[in-house]
Amino acid sequence: MNTNIRIFKAFGIPVELNISWFIIFALVSWSLVSGYFPSAYPHLSVAAYWIMGLAAALLLFVSVLLHELGHSYVAKTRGVPIKRITLFLFGGVSQLSKESADPRTEYLIAIAGPGVSFALMVIFFIFYRIVSDASQGGPVAPVLKYLVYVNGILGTFNLIPGFPLDGGRLLRAFIWKVTGDLQRSTYIASKVGGAIGLAFVAFGFISVFLGRFVFGLWMVLIGFFLRQAAQASYLQVVVTNTLKGVKVGDIMKAEVVTVAPDITVQDLIDNYFFRYHYDCFPVTEGGNLRGLVTLESIRHVPRERWQDTPVSEVMLKDLERLRVRPQDDAAEVLRRVVRDRCGKMPVVDRDKVVGIITRKDIMEALRIFSDLGH
């Protein structure tokens, strides 16, 4: 579920759909078309239920998008650029490029999302009243009523005071203002988030045992999600704080063994993999990066072809994804390494390979700097 599809840009921020969105969208539309609308409004036609279900699911999506754009807009005006917005049907994640500079900024960014949701709730309610007075029993009013509810739920759920939910961010801003310590307030807010997640899990299991199976399962899922999110975002703050100002160039290995693109796979195995015990080598020509060859990339070459297959034929060539620059932030590169599950990255300065950085190097730097109280 880690694949995102970019759909458009808003305020210059890329907006992405997580692929799980399509599955949830189908499920939600289906449950509205076949369950909610027919049972709440039994006198309408099947075609009407379809239109209502799809319209309601789409407007739920728009509501989530506007909630996230609320965060993004305030963040942008307060000098915290947003990298991207990723949307799931029930919520989104606005990925901030850095932490807020002060508790007030944190508070304003956090409150903006639920603020938008509650504003939408009121707007949909006004429309609902107008429409339901004008047309008795039409298909529009039920959709509007549904949107009043979901926006209320979106606003309220996000105010749960567990980091990284908006309410948790508000709690963190409050503790931050009192203690003046961002890392400590993140720690407390994420502990509260973890505890609330656990409460959801427990409540979910009790509900399942009491026979409310689907509802209970949802609660368990939300609980696990909250726990995991709380832990991940705390780690992210620790990493970002500890590695603040540390550049790739500071911690990379400057001695790097490179291979030429025209050597054979046999040569690569005998003279590089066996000799140096690394699991990947940058491929260079006159010092310029051409690709990266890993154990994985030669695994599918049959043994009898080792003698006549050049490295250039099997190397990874997606240079944009593979390389980093000396001036890149170590914390950001660590996130890339974890996300792409790529253990090593060549460090390239003006097309020349100047070093190599591994996940291990960054973890080591993280350990050293946190021991030093950096």
- Max CA-CA distance within the chain? 82
Please, which residues have CB within 8 angstroms of residue 304's CB and are 6 or more apart in sequence?
Answer: none
Provide DSSP, 102-113.
Answer: SHHHHHHHHHHH
CA angle (153 as vertex; 234, 145 as ends), nearest 5? 155
Least distance between Zn ion and beta carbon 71 (Å) = 6
The only residue of 86, 151, 158, 233 in contact with Zn ion, by rule CB under 5 A:
158
Q: Which is nearer to Zn ion, 113 or 204 (CB)?
A: 113
Q: Which is nearer to Zn ion, 59 or 170 (CB)?
A: 170
CA angle (86 as vertex; 80, 87 as ends), nearest 5? 130
Strand ranges across the sheet with 4-10: 4-10, 13-18, 82-88, 91-96
Touching Zn ion, residues 288-347 (CB under 5 A): none
Least distance between Zn ion and beta carbon 55 (Å) = 24
If one asks whether residue 113 binds Zn ion (CB under 5 A), the answer comes out as yes
Helix (H, G, I), strand (E, B) or coil at 67: helix
DSSP alpha helices (H): ranges in 182-278? 182-209, 213-242, 248-251, 265-268, 274-276
Instruction: Tokens for 130, please give them.
Output: 């107008």
Question: Does residue 68 carry a catalytic annotation?
Answer: yes
Separation between Cα atoms, residue 13 and residue 84, nearest integer Å:
6
Touching Zn ion, residues 159-218 (CB under 5 A): 166
Contact 293, 268 (CB under 8 A): yes
295: amino acid identity, one letter = L
If one asks whether residue 99 binds Zn ion (CB under 5 A), the answer comes out as no
**From residue 76, how far is each of 69, 115, 240 by CA, in Å?**
10, 16, 20
Phi-psi region of 11 (alpha: psi -120 to 50; beta: other; left: phi over 0): left
Contact 89, 22 (CB under 8 A): no
Q: Which is nearer to Zn ion, 159 or 248 (CB)?
A: 159
Select the span of 155-163, 234-242, 296-304, 308-316 touching Zn ion (CB under 5 A): 155-163
**Which one of the listed residues 16, 68, 99, 106 is annotated catalytic?**
68
**From residue 287, how far is each of 9, 202, 258, 276, 279 by CA, in Å?**
38, 58, 9, 20, 20
Q: Which residue is nearest to Zn ion (CB)?
A: 113
Chain residues in the site for Zn ion (CB under 5 A): 113, 158, 166
- Would you please indicate which residues are annotated as catalytic (active-site) residues? 68
